[in-house]
């Protein structure tokens, strides 16, 4: 195996400590032909000072606005130089040899567009968070994560083709990005990697789960599961995904199903007097009713 240049990209949003923990783990990896890019969304300058002191080899891009997950990654993609681009959530830490298996699989088969690492829980290192994923359900527009919550006994240690990658740790071939385009920015947060995976598969490329590449994920560091911003973007973008990828009767079946889910959730928030959640949920629905894509 040769060692082509790999550009490692991560996004920071007011989480300097967590991002520096990732950068510290990247200093220890065995694959040496890398460049590391950090996009500091809505920067307050704190991260740049710390990176200049402790990680002078790291490229940092500061933005005045929060460009979202896709927007931040795309900004780095346009400046990075690697043949392969490794996207890592800033709330991850990597094993020393996590890159070699991904590059090897990419070099073995030119039809592979994305390679996804095995994810395990940082705080429970024997617990699997991702070992591949099923395709989206025909009308629920949900995917099942293979192995989630199970103890890792090596039962998922065979590289295999999978339907969807997890953006917390995935490598994408530069030539594929040139063909299909950048990460879709209309999602801003959540579901953008699913849309990208669907585009890459539609272009004839495969997605592979590579379990020999191990990444530990601090699951709840970025956004609390019960936050209003999460409710807004998950609701908004699940409907957007239907609008983009379902046609004819299948589209209306999915929208009808999500309409029933929305009615139940709105009623629940009203009864519980969670008016912020109620407002955000309605805003997410109204965004789609307007046909907005921006």
> Residues in the chain with pLDDT < 50?
221-223
* Beta-strand pair 112-121/6-12: unpaired
| Angstrom distance (rounded) from CA 10 to CA 121 | 19
Average pLDDT, the chain: 94
Residue 221: per-residue pLDDT: 46
Residue 20: per-residue pLDDT: 96
Residue 291: per-residue pLDDT: 76
Q: For residue 59, what are the CA distances in angstroms to 56, 179, 250, 267, 287?
A: 8, 26, 45, 47, 36
């Amino acid at each position: 195996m040769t060692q082509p240049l790999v550009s490692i990209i991560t996004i920071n949003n007011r989480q300097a400590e967590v991002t520096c923990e990732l950068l510290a783990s990247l200093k220890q990896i065995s694959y040496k032909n890398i460049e590391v890019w950090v996009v500091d969304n809505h920067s307050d300058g704190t991260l740049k000072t710390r990176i200049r002191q402790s990680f002078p080899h790291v490229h940092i891009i500061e933005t005045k606005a929060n460009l979202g997950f896709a927007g931040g990654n795309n900004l780095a993609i346009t400046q990075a130089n690697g043949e392969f681009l490794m996207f890592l959530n800033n709330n991850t830490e990597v094993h020393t040899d996590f890159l070699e298996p991904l590059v090897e699989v990419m070099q073995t088969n030119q039809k592979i567009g994305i390679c996804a690492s095995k994810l395990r829980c940082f705080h429970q290192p024997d617990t699997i968070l991702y070992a591949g994923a099923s395709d989206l359900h025909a009308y629920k527009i949900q995917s099942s994560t293979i192995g989630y919550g199970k103890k890792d006994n090596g039962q998922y240690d065979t590289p295999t083709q999978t339907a969807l990658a997890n953006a917390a740790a995935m490598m994408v071939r530069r030539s594929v990005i040139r063909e299909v385009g950048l990460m879709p920015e209309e999602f801003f947060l959540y579901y953008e990697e699913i849309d990208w995976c669907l585009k890459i598969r539609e272009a004839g490329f495969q997605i592979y789960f590579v379990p020999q590449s191990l990444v530990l994920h601090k699951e709840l560091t970025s956004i609390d599961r019960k936050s209003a911003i999460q409710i807004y973007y998950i609701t908004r973008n699940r409907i957007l995904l239907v609008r983009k990828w379902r046609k004819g009767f299948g589209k209306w079946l999915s929208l009808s199903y999500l309409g029933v889910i929305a009615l139940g959730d709105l009623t629940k928030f009203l009864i519980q007097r969670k008016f912020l959640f109620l407002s955000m949920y309605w805003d997410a629905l109204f965004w789609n009713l307007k046909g907005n894509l921006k």
